């Protein structure tokens, strides 16, 4: 079955049509080991985010853990997860934490992909984390439309030693570069 894409208007056989979202975790999943591990990762990540955002924005922001966007099939269908949503005085940001153990990231000729150096002289093509969270951005943009608030996605790399090549989207950042998003 094909669905009309909300962003480009074309029909795609594999379109992700978001119909609902969940912040946090469903009660029945809260004690699962995988959820406990994700929550610990988020706690560590949120400390880094708070350390950067608090001096820049004061109390004009809040972080909300784990955004899950679903299709009409609910949890039985495809899902998109982001580590958190930041509500700020300058907009709403869907934030994903990227834990790639790579040496460099550059643009790739393949759409929505990145070229990464994984070992000396070994390049691989990885899907862009920005593309992965696009359905969450579209969903929140539609939901918040009447408030005229900008909604964007940010992928934050934990690896500070990774080199970013020129031309990458400005929404790909290292934790130390988050201050650029304060406007």
Contact 151, 166 (CB under 8 A): no
Q: Which range among 14-23, 50-59, 171-180 shows the weakest confidence by mean pLDDT?
A: 14-23
Q: What is the pLDDT of residue 21?
A: 82
Domain ranges of the chain: 3-97+133-182
Angle at 98 between CA 96 and CA 101, to 5 degrees: 175
Q: Which range among 31-40, 82-91, 102-111 shows the weakest confidence by mean pLDDT?
A: 31-40
CA separation for the pair 182, 125 (Å, rounded) = 30
The arithmetic mean of pLDDT across residues 5-27, rounded, is 64
Q: What is the pLDDT of residue 117?
A: 92
The tokens describing 42, both together, are 């988020």
CA separation for the pair 118, 98 (Å, rounded) = 14
Q: What is the pLDDT of residue 89?
A: 87
Q: What is the pLDDT of residue 50?
A: 92
What band does 7 get if pLDDT is binned at 50, 70 and 90? very low
Average pLDDT, rounded, for the chain: 85
Contact 66, 23 (CB under 8 A): yes
12 has pLDDT over 50: no
- pTM equals 0.82
The tokens describing 102, both together, are 């790579």
Q: What is the pLDDT of residue 15?
A: 65
Query: For residue range 39-90, what is the model confidence (pLDDT) as tens digits?
Result: 899 999 999 999 988 998 899 999 999 998 887 777 777 788 899 999 998 8
Beta strands 122-127 and 163-164, pairing class: unpaired
Contact 65, 86 (CB under 8 A): no
Contact 181, 175 (CB under 8 A): no
Q: What is the pLDDT of residue 62?
A: 95
């Amino acid at each position: 079955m094909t669905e009309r894409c909300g962003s480009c208007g074309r029909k795609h056989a594999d379109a992700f049509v978001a119909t609902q979202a969940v912040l946090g975790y469903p009660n029945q999943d809260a004690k699962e080991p995988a959820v406990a591990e994700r929550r610990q990762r988020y706690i560590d990540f949120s400390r880094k985010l708070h350390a950067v955002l608090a001096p820049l924005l004061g109390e004009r922001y809040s972080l909300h853990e784990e955004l899950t966007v679903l299709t009409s099939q609910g949890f039985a269908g495809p899902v998109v997860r982001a580590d958190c949503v930041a509500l700020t005085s300058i907009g709403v940001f869907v934030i994903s934490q990227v834990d790639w153990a790579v040496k460099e990231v550059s643009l790739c000729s393949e759409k929505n992909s990145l070229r990464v150096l994984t070992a000396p002289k070994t390049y691989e093509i990885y899907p862009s984390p920005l593309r992965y969270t696009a359905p969450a951005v579209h969903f929140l943009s539609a939901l918040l439309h009447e408030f005229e608030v900008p909604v964007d996605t940010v992928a934050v790399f934990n690896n500070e030693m990774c080199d970013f090549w020129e031309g990458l989207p400005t929404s790909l950042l290292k934790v130390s570069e988050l201050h650029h998003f304060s406007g």
